């Protein structure tokens, strides 16, 4: 007898804006969401450390093609810096490496903050996913090695002081791709002469998504299994084993449309006939008084549905990445 092929899952597409809890890794979160939706394909747009909470945008199906646009979006973090100790991981996870009895006054913190606004040079943490000679920095750090990670440019749109106490300060930062908030805490602590590390970190926005898009694991489980979510996974496994039909309508309603990730691009409305041609890889003439003549990247839609990402050259839309209808 031949073996049964492994189930591929559903061809469901869209963005799930997860409010990731503390203690869950990003890869674990993606696996959980993929299982809850029984999705064919899933991926995330920007890692969150297990000790961090908040926004982890997860792409399902065709939405995985739009991940780079969300990764490039501005991010907002609310974070707490505990003063007095620097740690190997620049957060609570690692052992203390340097200590000080000194604590900064609020005025000292405020005076320092302009240095960390705008385009700055920043050295990523030793425990980071940066590749050094083909290996992840965190793997080398776990082996006890100290690696020379070159500083790089990052952009801090704004840095606000939310609350200041005797031993800690709460900040909110809006920053661009590649910024490490842990490095921000480490460097400010060194500049203030008191050392510091992240004691709490929450990502509250990833452009174009906002906190209004947040969905929790509990809400997902309730939508997938009903209010008795604690008994549901076993029931789901039984249902899958006997191939019982499953109603995914409630959980699917929690997805954000794939096209939301492409709001940063010019939007071109096309006809159904043009959409058919584009999905076959063919260019089409862009009609309409307001249609751009040239654009390095644009988004084509038909009847409000995403068709393709492409370039507009001399009044023609040339598809680069096509989406299933």
Beta bridge partners of 19: 55
How far is the C-alpha of 13 from the C-alpha of 15, rounded, in Å? 7
User: Which structure tokens are listed for 185?
Assistant: 């805490």
Instruction: State how far the Cα of 113 lies from the Cα of 122, in Å rounded to an integer.
Output: 14
Q: Tell me, yes or no, if 49 is annotated catalytic.
A: yes
Token representation of residue 216: 């929790």
Closest CA to 303 of 264, 265, 257: 257
Cβ atoms of 279 and 307 within 8 Å: the answer is: yes
Q: Cβ–Cβ contacts within 10 Å for residue 253, how many?
A: 8
- Annotated active-site residue in 19, 49, 90, 91: 49
Helices (H), 99-180: 106-112, 137-142
Is 252 within 8 Å of 37 (Cβ atoms)? yes
Residues with catalytic annotation? Answer: 49
């Amino acid at each position: 007898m031949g073996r049964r092929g492994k189930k591929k899952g559903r061809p469901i597409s869209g963005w799930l804006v997860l409010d990731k809890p503390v203690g869950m890794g990003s890869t674990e979160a993606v696996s959980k969401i993929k299982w809850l939706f029984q999705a064919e394909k899933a991926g995330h747009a920007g890692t969150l450390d297990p000790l961090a909470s908040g926004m982890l945008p997860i792409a399902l199906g065709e939405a995985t093609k739009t991940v780079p646009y969300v990764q490039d979006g501005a991010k907002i973090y609310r974070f707490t810096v505990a003063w007095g100790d620097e740690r190997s991981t620049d957060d609570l996870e690692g052992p203390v490496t340097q200590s000080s009895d000194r604590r900064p006054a609020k005025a000292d913190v405020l005076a320092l903050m302009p240095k960390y606004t705008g385009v700055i040079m920043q050295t990523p943490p030793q425990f980071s996913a940066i590749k050094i000679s083909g290996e992840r920095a965190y793997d080398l750090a776990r082996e006890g090695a100290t690696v020379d990670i070159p500083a790089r440019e990052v952009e801090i749109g704004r840095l606000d002081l939310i609350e200041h106490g005797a031993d800690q300060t709460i900040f909110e930062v809006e920053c661009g791709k590649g910024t490490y908030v842990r490095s921000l805490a480490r460097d400010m602590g060194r500049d203030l002469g008191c050392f510091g590390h992240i004691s709490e970190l929450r990502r509250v926005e990833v452009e174009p998504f906002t906190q209004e898009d947040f969905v929790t694991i509990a809400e997902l489980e309730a939508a997938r299994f009903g209010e008795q979510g604690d008994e549901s996974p076993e029931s789901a496994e039984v249902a899958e084993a006997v191939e019982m039909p499953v109603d995914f309508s409630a959980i699917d309603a929690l997805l954000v449309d794939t096209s939301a990730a492409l709001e940063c691009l010019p939007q071109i409305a096309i006809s159904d006939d043009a959409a058919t041609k584009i999905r076959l890889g063919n260019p089409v003439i862009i009609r309409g008084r307001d249609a751009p003549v040239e654009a390095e990247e644009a988004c084509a839609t038909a009847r409000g549905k995403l068709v393709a990402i492409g370039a507009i050259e001399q009044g023609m839309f040339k598809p680069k990445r096509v989406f299933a209808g």
